[in-house]
C-alpha cells in the first residue's frame, strides 16, 4: 500500500521515474494508487517505458492546494488526480481546462505542460460508460431523472446534456440549489427540456422509462433515507447509483424489489480512472487489471 504523503515529503523528493499522484483531504480511503499501479504494472509487461511510472497519494488540505499544485509541478510530477475537496477549487488555479470540462466547473485529472497544469474531468465519461456497460443504456435519447444538485450531480447533468439525452429532470430537496444548477445548465442545454422538482412533490408529467441517477450521498450510511420514492415515479428503465460502498444501497434494493435493472458506481470509479490514465499515457489501459485491484480492496 502506498504511504500517505504530505507536502513536507517534497522537500527531499528524488523520484526519477514518471510520477503521478492523487490529492485529497482526507486521502486514506482512496484506492486510486492500487488501481493505477496495478494497471501500470501490466502495461509495463508490453511497454518498457511504464516500468518507471508510479502513482502516489498526498494528503493536501484545501488551503494548501495552490502551493501543492506549484510544488508538484516544480518537482516534475506528470499527472494528478483530484478528489474531495479539490475538484472545484483547482478549476481556477490551473493553466487550462478541457472544453468538455468547462461547463462543469470542476476538474479531477491534471496533465502537466510547460505552462502548468491542463485540467480534464473524467467523471462524466466514467458514468456514461458504466451505464452503457452495466445497464445497456445509452444516455443519448434517454430521459434522465437526476437526484441531487451538488458537484457530482453537475458533472452528471453536463454529461447527459452533452450526449444528447431526451430530457433532464433534477430532483433536490433544497430548491435554491436545484434552481441554481438548472440556471447553470441553460447555456449548454440547447433544445433539451431541463426541469426540477422536489423529491417530496413528484410531478405527474414525468416521462416513463427514465433512467434514475443518484448523485447524492444518501445511501452511504445504513440510516440514510431514500433519496426518492421509486414507487411514486413512472417505472424507470434503470437505476444507477454513483455510490459503490455499500454495493447495494437502499435505493438499489428498492429498485431490485420492483424488478428495475440496477447498477452501483463501481464501474464508474474504474472507467474514470481508466480515462485519466489514458490521458497521461496516450495508450490503451487495461480495465480488467484496474477492476481486479478495486475488488481486492
Contact 169, 234 (CB under 8 A): no
- Please state at what angle helix 287-296 crosses helix 266-281, rounded to 10 degrees: 130
Kindly report, residue by residue over 77-116, the tens digit of the pLDDT.
999 999 988 998 999 999 999 999 999 999 999 999 999 9
Which DSSP helix (H) or strand (E) runs through 18? strand 18-24
Specify the pLDDT at position 239. Answer: 98
Q: Are strands 194-197 and 167-171 parallel, antiparallel or unpaired?
A: parallel
Confidence of residue 193 (pLDDT cuts 50, 70, 90): very high
Kindly report, residue by residue over 245-262, the tens digit of the pLDDT.
899 999 999 999 999 999
Confidence of residue 29 (pLDDT cuts 50, 70, 90): confident
Specify the pLDDT at position 96. Answer: 97
Q: Annotated catalytic residue: which of 28, 87, 189, 231?
A: 87
Specify the pLDDT at position 36. Answer: 97
Nearest to 189 by CA among 240, 220, 144: 144
* Identical topology for domains 4-121+271-296 and 124-264: yes
Cβ–Cβ contacts within 10 Å for residue 101, how many? 24
Specify the pLDDT at position 84. Answer: 84
**Residue ranges covered by each domain of the chain:** 4-121+271-296, 124-264
User: Residue 231: what are its φ and ψ, rounded to 5°?
Assistant: -70, -20
What distance in Å separates the CA atoms of residue 201 and residue 204, rounded to the nearest whole number? Answer: 9
Specify the pLDDT at position 2. Answer: 82
Nearest to 197 by CA among 244, 241, 149, 230: 149
| Torsion from C-alpha of 31, 32, 37, 43, nearest 10 degrees | 130
What distance in Å separates the CA atoms of residue 275 and residue 285, rounded to the nearest whole number? Answer: 8
Specify the pLDDT at position 245. Answer: 87
151-175: average pLDDT: 96
Confidence of residue 222 (pLDDT cuts 50, 70, 90): confident
Q: Which fold has domain 124-264?
A: Rossmann fold (3.40.50)
Percent of the chain with pLDDT over 90: 91
206-225: average pLDDT: 93
What distance in Å separates the CA atoms of residue 101 and residue 228, rounded to the nearest whole number? Answer: 28
Percent of the chain with pLDDT over 70: 100
Contact 91, 105 (CB under 8 A): yes
Q: Are strands 96-97 and 116-120 parallel, antiparallel or unpaired?
A: parallel
User: Residue 99: what are its φ and ψ, rounded to 5°?
Assistant: -55, -40
Half-sphere CA count of 230, side-chain side, radius 13 A? 26
Specify the pLDDT at position 204. Answer: 87
Q: What is the pTM of this model?
A: 0.93
Residue 242 has pLDDT above 90, yes or no: yes
Confidence of residue 297 (pLDDT cuts 50, 70, 90): confident
Q: Are strands 109-113 and 116-120 parallel, antiparallel or unpaired?
A: antiparallel
24-42: average pLDDT: 94
- Which residues partner with 238 through β-bridges? 211
Measure the N-to-C terminal CA separation of the chain; round to a whole number of Å.
Answer: 11
- DSSP E strand stretches across 157-201: 167-171, 194-197
Confidence of residue 1 (pLDDT cuts 50, 70, 90): confident
Residue 211 has pLDDT above 90, yes or no: yes
What distance in Å separates the CA atoms of residue 95 and residue 66, rounded to the nearest whole number? Answer: 12
More confident residue, 297 or 115: 115
Active-site annotation holds for 28? no
What distance in Å separates the CA atoms of residue 71 and residue 49, rounded to the nearest whole number? Answer: 25
166-191: average pLDDT: 96
155-161: average pLDDT: 97
Question: What does CATH list as the number for 4-121+271-296?
Answer: 3.40.50.10860
277-297: average pLDDT: 95
Cβ–Cβ contacts within 10 Å for residue 248, how many? 14
- Which residues partner with 171 through β-bridges? 147, 197
Minimum mean pLDDT range among 1-5, 18-22, 132-136, 258-262 = 1-5
Nearest to 10 by CA among 63, 56, 53, 62: 56
Contact 239, 260 (CB under 8 A): yes
Amino acid at each position: 500500500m502506498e504511504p500517505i504523503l504530505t507536502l513536507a515529503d517534497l522537500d527531499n523528493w528524488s523520484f526519477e521515474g514518471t510520477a503521478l499522484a492523487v490529492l485529497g483531504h482526507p486521502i486514506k480511503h482512496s484506492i486510486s494508487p492500487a488501481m493505477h499501479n496495478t494497471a501500470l504494472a501490466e502495461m509495463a509487461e508490453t511497454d518498457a517505458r511504464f516500468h518507471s511510472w508510479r502513482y502516489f497519494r498526498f494528503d493536501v488540505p484545501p488551503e494548501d492546494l495552490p502551493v501543492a499544485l506549484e510544488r508538484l509541478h516544480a518537482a516534475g510530477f506528470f499527472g494528478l488526480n483530484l478528489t474531495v475537496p479539490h475538484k472545484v477549487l483547482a478549476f481556477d488555479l490551473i493553466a487550462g481546462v478541457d472544453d468538455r470540462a468547462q461547463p462543469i466547473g470542476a476538474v479531477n485529472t491534471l496533465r502537466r505542460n510547460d505552462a502548468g497544469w491542463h485540467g480534464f474531468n473524467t467523471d462524466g465519461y466514467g458514468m456514461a460508460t458504466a451505464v452503457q456497460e452495466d445497464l445497456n443504456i445509452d444516455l443519448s435519447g434517454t430521459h434522465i431523472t437526476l437526484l441531487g444538485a451538488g458537484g457530482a450531480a453537475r458533472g452528471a447533468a453536463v454529461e447527459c446534456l452533452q450526449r444528447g439525452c431526451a430530457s433532464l429532470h433534477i430532483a433536490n430537496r433544497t430548491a435554491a440549489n436545484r434552481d441554481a444548477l438548472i440556471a447553470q445548465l441553460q447555456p449548454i442545454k440547447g433544445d433539451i427540456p431541463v426541469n426540477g422538482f422536489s423529491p417530496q412533490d413528484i410531478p405527474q408529467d414525468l416521462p416513463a422509462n427514465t433512467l434514475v441517477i443518484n448523485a447524492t450521498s444518501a445511501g452511504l450510511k445504513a440510516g440514510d433515507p431514500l433519496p426518492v420514492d421509486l414507487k411514486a415515479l413512472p417505472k424507470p428503465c434503470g437505476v444507477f447509483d454513483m455510490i459503490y460502498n455499500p454495493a447495494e444501497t437502499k435505493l438499489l434494493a428498492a429498485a431490485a424489489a420492483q424488478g428495475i435493472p440496477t447498477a452501483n458506481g463501481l464501474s464508474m470509479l474504474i472507467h474514470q480512472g481508466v480515462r485519466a490514465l489514458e490521458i497521461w499515457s496516450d495508450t490503451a489501459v487495461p480495465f480488467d487489471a484496474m477492476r481486479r485491484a478495486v475488488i481486492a480492496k
